[in-house]
Chains A and B, each alone.
Chain A
Amino acid sequence: MLPTKQPRRSSLNFVPAFVDKVASAPSIWNIPVSTAETSDPVIVRCEHLGRVLRFEDKDKVLIADATFDVRTGEVLAIVGPSGSGKSSLLRLLNRLDEPTSGTVFVDGADYRQIPPQELRRKLGMVTQRPYLFPGTVGKNLRFGPSQRGINMTQEAVDQILLEVGLKGYAARDIAKLSGGESQRVSIARSLANSPLVLLLDEPTSALDELSKREIELLIQKIVREQKLTCVLVTHDRAQASRLAQRAILLDAGHIAGIGPVDELLHA
């Protein structure tokens, strides 16, 4: 079960250079750590999560002491400049990398107690590049369920494709897809696993402006219609504002602030 007492990280003991340069928001440190929507149940809780690598007798901090909640049905944005540890944090969340300290509770259970394959099905991930498998769109959608011995029906495949705006694409070869379509297939492929939380790692950074807006609308639609919880990594503050309710500001692997997205990013 989740610990009843949820430790809070002080937001005042660390001064991030990133915020000074980019945010032009001197009042940012007055924003309380975690806020408001306390009525929503916590679905993912990171507790003192950290990853430090040792290179040539020097420690490189990728993520340090990250403590935060993800609440059911919300979109939580992780924002920060390039190299601040956004993707590293996301990889720790579905345990593609191993934390060197702390842990993550998923639906109340320590994720080290959950078999990795089950954990990763629960925390679906969409990467910057879609990495589609050779073959048809339908084959890609069936991949995840087939790993658990589930053979998706054609109707189920068509339904998910309809939801992501790719009606009639099941038999199409992935080589014939545009960048935006490939990313839609990538999202659909994760949705086929019925995840509890969708982790989105810069899902639009490799797309043109039009495709980017289309994917954003798709994410908004999925969140609205399926009440899906999302953790969105983005370097784009405007995108975070458009899609997320809360945001985490990362700087050099440290959490520099957590709060409602409008207050945190536009203060």
Chain B
Amino acid sequence: MLRLLFSNQLQLGMAQAGIASLAAMMVVLLARKRGINLVSESLIAMARAIVQIVAVGSILVLLLRGPRWTSGFCLAGMMLAAGAISSRRAKGIPGAFRISAWAIASGAGSVIALMAWLGVIDMAITSLLPVGSMLIANAMNTNGLALNRFRADVIAHAGEIETALALGASPNSSITPYVQASFEASLIPAIDSLRSLGIVWIPGLMAGMLLSGARPVYAAIYQFVVLAMIFAASGLTSLVSTLLIRGQIFTSAEQLLLQPGG
């Protein structure tokens, strides 16, 4: 229907973005009616997203024509930004940005480096940058989920944790169940993506490969490769993140810092 109204591609894109944003805002307003206020956070996130992607899209042509080494800088910048964004899910935990950046760098960064070195990801900037960004974005989401779940669980179970401490348990021992739960919960989206591949969703990358002339079977296999890499990067990020965060919620005298209402 929109295509009948807009012949210009830019106008069509803006109209599509407007309608998609309206759909998103309707959900936010419905949630607000149920007492869940995400209005400002969602508005800011959507505004940021459109500005960022248009800006990146505008310079992507230049980037993709640049020398190969520039992809390293771009990916490093993405990892830092991902660390900053996901660390907001760990409000009240000291050093959350440092931990998130390290976790994403060691999770997504190491998988990207290893796969590029082995030739699973093409070293060409046109391949490395988009595939790398997918791994980083998913690692960021996983890290945010892990931190959010960990923080919520620790606050909800402060009594149990302090009981364990009072019985002579070490800080690590007292929070082991919550570290495990947050790790497992953070990987649910990655596992579900693997499970549903080809049945519930067909990734955009596959469609792109088919349109650019790749053999369908190879395009299909590569989707699995990408999802397996995402799982590896996300899992490693969550593992590092939940390991590092343990040390941040206790004082040197083994007292719990995160408290309800704190």
Between A and B, 5 residue pairs with Cβ closer than 8 Å are A120-B167, A124-B166, A131-B159, A147-B167, A193-B167
User: Is A125 a contact partner of B166 (Cβ separation < 8 A)?
Assistant: yes
Binds B, one of A35-43, A91-99, A230-238, A239-247: A91-99
Q: Beyond A127-B159, A143-B169: 18 further Cβ-contacts under 8 Å?
A: A95-B255, A96-B165, A96-B255, A98-B251, A112-B253, A116-B165, A117-B169, A117-B254, A118-B168, A120-B165, A120-B166, A124-B167, A127-B166, A143-B164, A144-B168, A144-B169, A147-B167, A190-B166
User: Is B169 a contact partner of A116 (Cβ separation < 8 A)?
Assistant: no
- The winner among B167, B173, B253, B254 for most chain A CB atoms within 10 A is B167
A14 at the interface (CB under 8 A from B): no
Across-interface contacts of A94 in B (CB, < 8 A): 166
Going nearest first, the 5 A-B pairs with the smallest beta carbon separation are: A121-B168, A144-B167, A125-B166, A116-B254, A131-B163
Across-interface contacts of A193 in B (CB, < 8 A): 167-168
A143 CA to B169 CA, complexed, in Å: 8
Task: Scan B160-190; emit 1 where CB is below 8 A from any A CB, else 0.
Answer: 1011111111100100000000000000000
A94 CA to B254 CA, complexed, in Å: 11
A112 CA to B253 CA, complexed, in Å: 8
Across-interface contacts of A116 in B (CB, < 8 A): 165, 253-255
Query: Which chain B residues in 245-262 approach chain A with CB under 8 Å?
Result: 251, 253-256
Across-interface contacts of B160 in A (CB, < 8 A): 131, 133
User: Is A147 a contact partner of B166 (Cβ separation < 8 A)?
Assistant: no
A96 CA to B251 CA, complexed, in Å: 10
A117 CA to B166 CA, complexed, in Å: 8
- Look across to chain B and name the residue whose beta carbon is closest to the beta carbon of A91: B162
Taking the closest CB of chain A, its distance from the CB of B94, in whole angstroms, is 15
Across-interface contacts of B256 in A (CB, < 8 A): 96
- The winner among B163, B164, B165 for most chain A CB atoms within 10 A is B163
A129 CA to B253 CA, complexed, in Å: 24
Given A116-B253, A116-B254, A147-B173, are A96 and B168 also a contact pair (CB < 8 Å)?
Answer: no
